[in-house]
Amino acid sequence: MKALHLTLLALLLVGCQEEPKPMAKYTIEQFYENKSIGGGSFSPDESKLLVSSNESGIYNVYEIDIASGERKQLTESSDESYFAQSYFPNDERFIYTYDEGGNENYKVFMMSEEGEPKNLTPVDSVRNGFWGWSRDESKMFLVSNERNRSYMDVYTMPIDSLDAETPTKKMIYQNDDGLDVGSISPNERYFALTQAITSADGKMYLYDSETEEKTDISEHEGDATYNPQFFSLDNKSLFYTTDEGSDFVYLAKRNLDTGEVEKVFETNWDVWYAYDSYNQKYRVIGINEDAKTIVKVIDQETGEEVKLPDMEGGSITSVSISKNEKNARLMVSTSATPSNMYVYNFETGELKKLTDTLNPEIKEDDLVEGQVVRYKSFDGLEIPAIYYQPKQASIENKVPGLVWVHGGPGGQSRLNNFELIQYLVNHGYAILAVNNRGSSGYGKEFNHLDDRNHGDKDLKDCVAGKDFLASTEVIDMEKVGIIGGSYGGYMVMAALTFEPEAFDVGVNIFGVTNWLRTLKSIPPYWESFKKALYDEMGDPYTQDSVRLHGISPLFHTENVTKPLMVLQGANDVRVLQVESDEIVEGVKANGVPVEYVIFDDEGHGFRKKENQISGYGQIKDFLDVHLKGLTE
């Protein structure tokens, strides 16, 4: 049974919530005293991990001593988020990246062992990315759109040149036809390339750098997508994920000599990623199982699954295996608490917790785990969702509700922790995070049910979420709002515009309001999948523009009658600030209450704790007034 269905869940929730549970309420500042941590590159001697953490108020690079658990801050940024990438293969220099104010033009930096930073990508207005180390550990791979802002080329930079005033850089793949490089063979002869034809269909090519021949290795019938994962160490096989001939993504292997293809691993959910450990002792497979990540580690010698430690109250969401294949960095997550990092020794079975990311002022028992649920939409289609019910909710003490819509299009609400959700639930707002038709994770048929139909059936799925909220019998159905970011922000505006009586308030977090402008102003480095995006949404330069105009809330603001809050980053390159400026102006003209929050130092997402505290705190204040009806 994949999930509890609406009627059964409603009975269970009503039965469990006859008496509200005592719990403390926490401030937005307390929730954002939680720490967010990521990365986890092992040092060459495997005694340390290189991580990113926002405990300083913004992301910086830290190292964690595995034996003692001691943490040392290695960068001191107060303006931009610095993200750890990797230690060097044979010394403790490391690579980190950052952009400026969320503009997505990432720079790649090296930090010397003496703590001196060096910019390896000094050209401005260029998007760069660290792409790993060569198998012989003599050079670094770099991707960059320096030559052509529309396409990412691949370069190598010899490690022994990085200390020079001008490091040596050599282009090894010039991307002239808009393909994306997915993987490079250990001997650097073969490149696995992909091409997006539509949002549901693509091609995969094998490029031989010795012969300079490019071969289509994905001839297929129907729609299929391809995602190269890795080449075998003997350079004879390519492993990739695909949904060719299937509704779900599976792991496949192609023999480069014979062209023979075999399925390696499949289940009734999407295989998200796969990789082999350094010497292929283990294979790690990540599965997107009903909004939750399931990780399997396979012993390649026996073919048996390795039993990882049980994590009470949490689940392992990622595994990074050390070079000597004795240790693994584990990330463990819940939907109520921030992720923590562990190190597990395969040989001894020892498990060591390295982080404690939950603010000690917050009791875990006061937080709410999401529950996977399903409900019927207007046409009978079953919609998956994640439900968070406040502990103070009961039939006698009904609470307001919020329908939460993820980003995308094609994103997914998952059983991950988000402080804003926990903050709102802690203060008595029930949240239903819907995975409307068009969401990923439930097969390609479901994923493409909203193609060229945005603002219609996907919106109706969100409106139908109110039926689920009503079925719990603990929601005050006179107080139900809608909230979301990016595509979810668009759905907020579509709801207030095209279903103006469905929700009582809307909170739009950097949402699209004018599809014509957004689709014409996408960042240049999206060129490789622009055709696929236009296939799903519509081409603004064709007759599709008529439909895109029709589904764009900006042109229908006279319909908005309910209070609106808008949050926006001034440096957003995906949803430009003008989108929010104009929708706010249009809705204000109706005499409707509107609150507008802009951060000058953020892009498509808010990284700085001070901005998260300010912006997300104002969301609760807005809802308290316009949904709960509290006086200001």
- Residue-wise pLDDT for 402-431, tens only, equals 999 999 889 999 999 999 999 999 999 999
Q: What is the mean pLDDT of residues 593-601?
A: 97
Distance (Å, whole) CA 232 – CA 253: 10
Bridge partners for 622 per DSSP: none
Q: Which residues fall within 8 angstroms of residue 591, CB to CB, at 6 or more apart? A: none
Pair type for strands 594-599 and 213-216:
unpaired
Distance (Å, whole) CA 4 – CA 6: 7
Residues in the chain: 632
Torsion-angle region of 349 (φ positive above 0: left; ψ -120 to 50: alpha; else: beta): left
Q: Give yes or no for a contact between 141 and 154, defined as CB atoms under 8 angstroms apart.
A: yes
Give the closest residue to 471 by CA, choosing from 402, 359, 395, 576. Answer: 395
Question: Pseudo-torsion of CA 441, 446, 451, 457, nearest 10°?
Answer: -110
Domains of the chain: 4-29+361-514+552-624 (3.40.50.1820)
Q: Give yes or no for a contact between 226 and 203, defined as CB atoms under 8 angstroms apart.
A: yes
Is the pLDDT confidence value at 13 over 60?
no
Strand order in the sheet with 60-65: 37-42, 48-53, 60-65, 71-73
Q: What is the DSSP letter of 147?
A: S
Q: How confident is the model at residue 314 (pLDDT cuts 50, 70, 90)?
A: confident
Distance (Å, whole) CA 422 – CA 307: 32
What integer pLDDT is reported at residue 263 of this predicted model?
Answer: 98
What integer pLDDT is reported at residue 632 of this predicted model?
Answer: 56
Is the pLDDT confidence value at 352 over 80?
yes
DSSP letters, 77-135, are -SSS--EEEEE-SSSS-EEEEE-STT----EEEEE-TTS-EEES---SS--EEEEEE-T
What integer pLDDT is reported at residue 556 of this predicted model?
Answer: 97
- Residue-wise pLDDT for 112-153, tens only, equals 999 999 999 999 999 999 999 999 999 999 999 999 999 999
- Residue-wise pLDDT for 74-94, tens only, equals 999 999 999 999 999 999 999
Q: What is the mean pLDDT of residues 274-288?
A: 98
> Which range, of 65-79, 284-298, 445-459, 522-536, averages the lowest pLDDT?
522-536
Distance (Å, whole) CA 317 – CA 339: 9
Structure tokens at 225: 């997508």
Q: How confident is the model at residue 21 (pLDDT cuts 50, 70, 90)?
A: low
Q: What is the DSSP letter of 170?
A: E
What percentage of the chain exceeds 70 in pLDDT?
97
Average pLDDT over all residues of the chain: 94
CA 3 to chain centre: 23
pTM for the structure as a whole: 0.94
Q: How many CB atoms lie within 10 A of CB 78?
A: 9
- Residue-wise pLDDT for 525-557, tens only, equals 888 888 889 999 999 999 999 999 999 999 999
Is the pLDDT confidence value at 303 over 50?
yes
What integer pLDDT is reported at residue 20 of this predicted model?
Answer: 60
Bridge partners for 385 per DSSP: 373, 434
- Residue-wise pLDDT for 490-530, tens only, equals 999 999 999 999 999 999 999 999 999 999 998 998 888 88
Q: Give yes or no for a contact between 381 and 437, defined as CB atoms under 8 angstroms apart.
A: yes
Give the closest residue to 580 by CA, choosing from 559, 609, 561, 553. Answer: 553
